[in-house]
Structure 1
Amino acid sequence: MPVQLKAQHATKERKIVRVLTLNILHGATTKGDFDLDVISDVINNTKPDLVALQEVDYKTKRAKNFDLTTELAQRTGMTSYFAKAMDYDGGAYGEGVLSKWPILSAKNIPLPHQPTSEPRAAAEITIAISPGDTIRFIGTHLDHLKDNRDRMMQVQAINQKLIPGDYPSILAGDLNDTPGSEPIEILESKWSAAYQETTLEPTFPSDDPKGKIDYIMYTPKKAWKVLESKTICDEIASDHCGYLVVLELLP
């Protein structure tokens, strides 16, 4: 008598990555009361897998000698990496990244700037989001001056240093320029931006957002699908809105 075997249908789990970028105003808050719990609440309520933090202090006097990246990692249950851009106020200042996954490798990428300008950096980490699926995550903060010469050098350096890469990649941060500007267009020649031109999702200032200067981008385009994007505007936590993008890593 033939034996009927029950068919087994294996359903592959979707690889979803929730990415948040947030300028944390060196922990000061817009009230100036240095409240890291307000900032960590924004992160925890958003439930991100990866976070890019800008304006991050490491043991400076103004930040009460706290290592802000580590403090926020502890408050959110994530792993962390800090990339120093410059010495500042008895400590350091730069970029931080948080990850719910263990960090496999990390690199501080100094970005070019004019001698009189503030140094900038990019924090690059690699993580495995599932067995066999390694990605790169890069957090950065570009120059803020009206003159875009530093930003132009910095976006060109990002493209040259990070493209092409060994893994699907996500770039997040405060890029200090608006959609359609020359620096953003240079980045978008190599990276796909998550925002739609019809809905730019302004991120600054947080109490009345008028302009988009915070971004999440990804490459290669065929590796990712944007499922959702939105701003998180807490006018106390920061003068910037957080920007959340939910991505799916495609097979």
Structure 2
Amino acid sequence: MKMTKQLLAILTLVLTFHTIPAQNTSDKEITVRVLTFNILHGATTKGDFDLDKIASVIQNTNPDLVAMQEVDFKTNRARNYDLVTELGSRTKMAPLFGIAMPYDGGGYGEGILTKMPILSSKNVPLPHSPENEPRAALQVLVQLESGDTISFIGTHLEHQERSMDRIDQVETINEVFTSCKYPSILAGDLNATPDSEPISILKKYWMASDQEGALTYPSDAPEIKIDYIFFRPAERWQVVETEVICDEIASDHCAFLSVLKLVK
């Protein structure tokens, strides 16, 4: 049976659609709004567990990606809420939880919110001393509207002031994530000041979005910087703006926002 010209044209169109991947040929600027926020396991500084208050801080910055620390998953202290899912619902973003340790009838760890579809994810346990809390780094690969894929990692490093765990943890982060072939962003509460050894180790491979080190803790009167957004490789990103958002009720940490431009 002979194939009509019309049918042949339709089949050609279908085959072309399925075999040629989408390419970013637009000249439109590609920017990503990134927020890191330690949410104090949902309690707020008043201890009143106001998730709407936390969600409003996130919504007001209009982020594309959020890394959250001190995230509870159905613990007794968090009233059996899955915090990242609750905040995802309130902010209309897709939620993902990565456990660092079992805690109080549920789990405790990292949370990510994203406006972009998640292509894949992995949760990487970080080294820690037996007497200290387990920590993790949660990674997602997401697809931007432009079709570009980027890597986004959220983490929370050891908080004990004299602990060597942070050095082991940043070395693991470098080992695991710097081989990623996609432009990458690392965000979180690193419990280390800009002049510390852990930050120096990270800076061997990562660029800080705010070179001057805006203060982020405590939220009622910030005195130190311990919350960061890093990116790599340096030539693939440009910093458009950064902002510290301090709400002394929502959390004991200020939220930290960076707007990054993806360079073609």
> Is the TM value for this pair above 0.5?
yes
* Structure 1 residue aligned with 2:241: 228
Matched, 1:194 2:190: no
SS in 2 for 1:130: coil
How far the C-alpha of 1:24 sits from its partner, in A, is 0.1
Matched, 1:120 2:135: yes
RMSD (Å) for aligned C-alpha atoms: 1.0
Matched, 1:168 2:183: yes
Matched, 1:246 2:234: no
Which residues of structure 2 form unaligned runs of 5+?
A: 1-24
* Structure 2 residue aligned with 1:3: none
How far the C-alpha of 1:80 sits from its partner, in A, is 1.4
1:73-110 Cα offsets, whole Å, 9 max, x none, are 00001111110000000000000001001111111110
C-alpha distance in 1, partners of 2:139/2:242?
22
C-alpha distance in 2, partners of 1:20/1:230?
9
How far the C-alpha of 1:146 sits from its partner, in A, is 1.0
C-alpha distance in 1, partners of 2:202/2:127?
15
Amino acid at match of 2:183: P
C-alpha distance in 2, partners of 1:115/1:235?
33
How far the C-alpha of 1:13 sits from its partner, in A, is 1.1
1:33-88 Cα offsets, whole Å, 9 max, x none, are 00000000000001000000000000000000000010000000111111000000
- Identify which of 8, 14, 21 aligns with 2:29: 14
* Structure 2 residue aligned with 1:65: 80
- Identify which of 24, 46, 50 aligns with 2:65: 50
1:173-219 Cα offsets, whole Å, 9 max, x none, are 0000100100000001110001123xx21000000000000000000
Matched, 1:133 2:148: yes
SS in 2 for 1:45: helix
C-alpha distance in 1, partners of 2:59/2:27?
28
How far the C-alpha of 1:25 sits from its partner, in A, is 0.1
SS in 1 for 2:216: coil
* Structure 2 residue aligned with 1:30: 45
- Asked whether the 8 Å contact 2:30–2:146 carries over to 1, the reply is no
C-alpha distance in 2, partners of 1:142/1:234?
22
TM-score normalised by the chain length of structure 2: 0.89
* Structure 2 residue aligned with 1:145: 160
TM-score normalised by the chain length of structure 1: 0.94
* Structure 2 residue aligned with 1:213: 226
1:112-137 Cα offsets, whole Å, 9 max, x none, are 00111100001100001134310000
Kindly tell me the number of residue pairs found equivalent between the two proteins.
240
* Structure 2 residue aligned with 1:6: none
C-alpha distance in 2, partners of 1:202/1:150?
23
C-alpha distance in 1, partners of 2:175/2:137?
13
1:136-158 Cα offsets, whole Å, 9 max, x none, are 00000000001131001000000
Q: Percent identity?
A: 60
| Greater radius of gyration (CA) | 2
* Structure 2 residue aligned with 1:78: 93
